[in-house]
Amino acid sequence: MREIVIDTETTGLDPANGHRIVEIGCVELFNAIPTGQTFHEYLDPERDVPEEAFRVHGISAEFLAGKPKFRDIVERFVAFLGEAMLVAHNAEFDVRFLNAELAAHGRAAIGIERVVDTLTLARRRHPGVPNSLDALCQRYSIDVSRRTKHGALLDAEILAEVYAELTGGRQASFVLQTAATARVNSDGAARLARPAALAPRIDAAELAAHAAFVARLGQKAIWRNYPLAHTPETPPLPVAPTPPAETVPAP
């Protein structure tokens, strides 16, 4: 399944107040694994960058001067997203800004049904504790030493790692079995069948000692449900004789 982890940096908190996107960063995932394909653009917001926003992401109006405007990249951006599901942290914030930009350029809005919010996932998995991106990185031992300020592409790359931890994506995609080699246990869980049995790892003396011990446990010993491997030098597990039925005297 194709997914896009996305993050934005903006001039403020609300597009309804005239704030705009100044950076977009996207990381493509396929079956929860980054493919190496990214989308990254700094954007001229066609307005100033307030000091409080600059303190968060370090992107100045001077730096953005001459950068493309959203209308210049909208075609490539929409094409990169395609029909993929989107993954974002506190997704409502990013989607509001993206939809404001898309609407201003006559493009269809991003529906909430195609968005996965990792903040919601984290709150369900770790209720009652901080679930910011930094807190999750610390919880999952993800290196953020390179993250001195917020940055859309860097945050998207880090969020892809967090998303894998939240969903078990790495483990789920690491599949070693095939339909031909899989077998099913009595509880319905899949297990693997080896093409050739492994050689025993215990020697003949250990096998004999264990067999002698089990023989003393009686016919109902649970060990008898698990037959021991044996070698020509070590006979199969001996079967204890069945004790005679107890005789009850006639009245």
Backbone φ, ψ for residue 237 (5° rounding): -55, 125
Residue 189, CA distances (Å) to 176, 185, 210 in order: 15, 5, 31
Residue 150 designated active-site: yes
Residue 191: CB partners within 8 Å, gap ≥ 6? 182, 183, 184, 185
Residue 128, CA distances (Å) to 93, 124, 125, 131, 246 in order: 22, 9, 10, 9, 63
Beta-bridged to residue 201, according to DSSP, are none
Active-site option among 19, 57, 89, 150: 150
Active site residues: 150
